[in-house]
Amino acid sequence: RRRRPRAKAPFGFTAIEPQPAGTDELDVPDGFSWHAIIAWGDPLFRGTPRFDVDRQSASAQRRQFGYNCDYVGLLPTRNPHRAVLVVNHEYTNDNLMFEGYTGPDSLTDDQLEIIQAAHGMSVVEVRRRNGTSGWTYVQGARLNRRIHTGTRFTFDGPGAGSDLLRTSADPDGTSSLGTLNNCAGGTTPWGTVLSGEENFNQYFVEPGTGTAEQTAAWERYGIAGSTGRGWERIDPRFDLGQEPNEANRLGWVVEIDPLDPHSTPVKHTAMGRFKHEGANVTVDDDGSVVAYMGDDERFDYMYKFVSHRRYRKGNSWRARRHNKQLLSSGDLYVARFTGDGAQDRVNDGTGEWIPLVVDNRSKVPGMNVEEVLVHTRLAADKVGPTKMDRPEDVEVNPVNGRVYAALTNNSRRTAAEIDEANPRPDNRHGHVLEITPTRGEHVRSTFSWKLVLIAGDPDDPGTYFNGYDRSEVSSISCPDNVAFDGEGNLWIATDGNALGDADGMYLMPLEGREKGHLQRFLSVPAYAECCGPLITFDQRSVLAAIQHPGESDAATYASPASLFPYKGDPCPRPGVVEVRPDRRKRTRD
């Protein structure tokens, strides 16, 4: 019916049809196969117990792969058949993990400890037999590491040591335990991984006894009343009545060094505190390091960080030590987008980065630098940035140097609230925004921008596929994470398809004859979200995180909606899959 799509290299494929959201199947194009590299509960160390859903323990979970995978990074090593996989574990589906779950009150203390241990991150070495075989993980490898709520982090940057970070366990405000709700992330040019602490609000009880300032901040960050998680029952730091500053110790960008399993991971206060989706770094010609970041909430903002010090090339120990401090000191900005009008029939215009912190000094009236960095949302509110439709992953295209931001959706935007960068009321399907820095320099404070995708059913004339014929493209809803292949094509993973179809992964070329020709590459199992995504460094495979398979209101431990990855367990196990072209059947255009 539709003309055969002609994808650019490296993945020539025929777009797959959508599948209903409840279909418990992982679908990839003809000529491709998938396998799970690792899934929830897989043992990471020598002697770690194998996964057994009916015999879980916190001590085992601290040594096993965690739950709901989000960000996926793959770092090459000197050996081309060995690499390091780094994965975020954003949150847990407690109702699918434990038999007899009826709500947070039904959880035992042991189960709450297991749940905490299933959050965080995993670092896992992977290997392959040769250049055409798939990756498998290596139990007991030297670099394997689990980061969980017991892992110690240090704060650095101008906010470290602030009164706002001090607790009874940490009277200096310089270190904290754990990282939570890690959503997207990015791999830096110096081989570390950045990870965003997103919806940390859900773990805290708000006691109603805070000062006016505390209460205003808690409200702006979505902390209200009871958690629904029950963590305060085993760990009083999650009760803000007892530790009012504990919530200020989450909501940061964290940096971990996967190549040094004994390193202490860092929370970078210079990059501000909000519901961090992630952070992606690029290096300007002058060596300045620029990070782009989204704050994933309806009507929240996009941010940019510019390092004070310059990137040092090379992989030497000295260069890495220098580069690992680049995100400790820099200037922080928030974005304002101005449209140039609808007459040109394109959603585009110009924009500027409004300074919040410059030279470690506040640019926000009435707030000092510590307040700006800890309460960044409140600071940004004062300088007039553009309220966006849930800014998620923001990433620089390494081929064309432009920046791409997934704006997932915003069903609460009214017709009176639309602007050219967020052009639809009741935006249920989201869009993708492209930023072109002035003169290609990311340090500059101005840019131009354009929406390259307005998602939805392509039969809807309100959708837009970068000018491509809408009759030739796949439907797409709720772009959430973005990635690029070696030719600069945009890959998009979705979360929350509002068309009734499964979430998945899509390829959309950004240049040439196929520009805007969006094609569905993957559909995830029942009620999962597609995360990652990652085109591996050798352009030979696609990695995807299958997050929250089986997450539907009706699903329980006893009747799960998904059994992904279909290895005989009675429950779904979120995990990371690799998709590769079949060697013989590979389709070429």
Interface ranges with ligand FEO (CB under 6 A): 90, 183, 198, 277, 296, 392
Which of Ca ion, ligand FEO, none is residue 346 near (CB under 5 to 8 Å by kind)?
Answer: Ca ion
Of 170, 73, 51, the closest CA to residue 118 belongs to 51
Minimum distance of ligand FEO from residue 428's CB (angstroms): 16
* Stretch 286-345 residues interacting with Ca ion (CB under 5 A): 340, 344
CB 235 within 8 A of CB 113: no
In 12-25, which positions are buried (b, 16+ CB within 10 angstroms) versus exposed (e)?
bbbbbebbebbbbe
CA neighbours closer than 13 Å in the CB half-sphere of residue 474: 27
Q: Which stretch binds Ca ion (CB under 5 A): 221-229, 286-294, 366-374, 473-481?
A: 473-481
Under rule CB under 5 A, residue 346 binds Ca ion = yes
Instruction: For Ca ion, give the closer residue by CB, 293 or 378.
Output: 293
Q: What is the CA radius of gyration of the chain?
A: 22
CB 257 within 8 A of CB 325: no
Q: Which phi and psi (to 5°) does residue 175 adopt?
A: -150, 155
Residue 2, Cβ neighbours under 10 Å: how many? 11
Pairing, β 280-283 against β 175-177: unpaired
Under rule CB under 5 A, residue 393 binds Ca ion = yes
Minimum distance of ligand FEO from residue 195's CB (angstroms): 11
CB 478 within 8 A of CB 505: no
Under rule CB under 5 A, residue 485 binds Ca ion = no
In this chain, which of 243, 255, 257, 348 binds Ca ion, going by CB under 5 A? 348
Site string for Ca ion, 128-167 (x = CB under 5 A): ----------------------------------------
Pairing, β 136-137 against β 575-581: unpaired
Enclosing H/E stretch for 220: helix 212-220
Of 136, 125, 35, 142, the closest CA to residue 85 belongs to 125
Which of Ca ion, ligand FEO, none is residue 113 near (CB under 5 to 8 Å by kind)?
Answer: none
Instruction: For ligand FEO, give the closer residue by CB, 162 or 182.
Output: 182
Minimum distance of ligand FEO from residue 47's CB (angstroms): 33
Instruction: For Ca ion, give the closer residue by CB, 284 or 393.
Output: 393
Cα(176)–Cα(415) distance, rounded to whole angstroms? 43
Minimum distance of Ca ion from residue 321's CB (angstroms): 26
Under rule CB under 5 A, residue 125 binds Ca ion = no
Which of Ca ion, ligand FEO, none is residue 344 near (CB under 5 to 8 Å by kind)?
Answer: Ca ion
Instruction: For Ca ion, give the closer residue by CB, 348 or 578.
Output: 348
Instruction: For Ca ion, give the closer residue by CB, 369 or 535.
Output: 535
Burial of 346 (0-12, 13-18, 19+ CB in 10 A): middle
Under rule CB under 5 A, residue 284 binds Ca ion = no
Minimum distance of Ca ion from residue 296's CB (angstroms): 7
Which of ligand FEO, Ca ion, none is residue 485 near (CB under 5 to 8 Å by kind)?
Answer: none
Instruction: For ligand FEO, give the closer residue by CB, 68 or 362.
Output: 68
Instruction: For Ca ion, give the closer residue by CB, 27 or 393.
Output: 393
Which of Ca ion, ligand FEO, none is residue 553 near (CB under 5 to 8 Å by kind)?
Answer: none
Nearby residues of 212 by Cβ (< 8 Å), 6 or more positions away: none
Minimum distance of ligand FEO from residue 146's CB (angstroms): 20
CB 290 within 8 A of CB 335: no
Cα(263)–Cα(324) distance, rounded to whole angstroms? 11
> Collapsing DSSP states into helix, strand and coil, what is residue 216?
helix
Under rule CB under 5 A, residue 480 binds Ca ion = yes
Of 562, 521, 577, the closest CA to residue 17 belongs to 521
Residue 257 DSSP code: -
Minimum distance of ligand FEO from residue 345's CB (angstroms): 31
Minimum distance of ligand FEO from residue 183's CB (angstroms): 3
Minimum distance of Ca ion from residue 72's CB (angstroms): 9
Enclosing H/E stretch for 97: helix 94-97
Which of ligand FEO, Ca ion, none is residue 198 near (CB under 5 to 8 Å by kind)?
Answer: ligand FEO
The pair of structure tokens assigned to 74 is: 């793959």
Minimum distance of ligand FEO from residue 548's CB (angstroms): 10
Of 379, 373, 183, 409, the closest CA to residue 280 belongs to 183
Which of ligand FEO, Ca ion, none is residue 90 near (CB under 5 to 8 Å by kind)?
Answer: ligand FEO
Minimum distance of ligand FEO from residue 340's CB (angstroms): 29
Cα(474)–Cα(22) distance, rounded to whole angstroms? 19
Q: Which residues bind Ca ion (CB under 5 A)?
A: 183, 340, 344, 346, 348, 393, 395, 480-481, 483
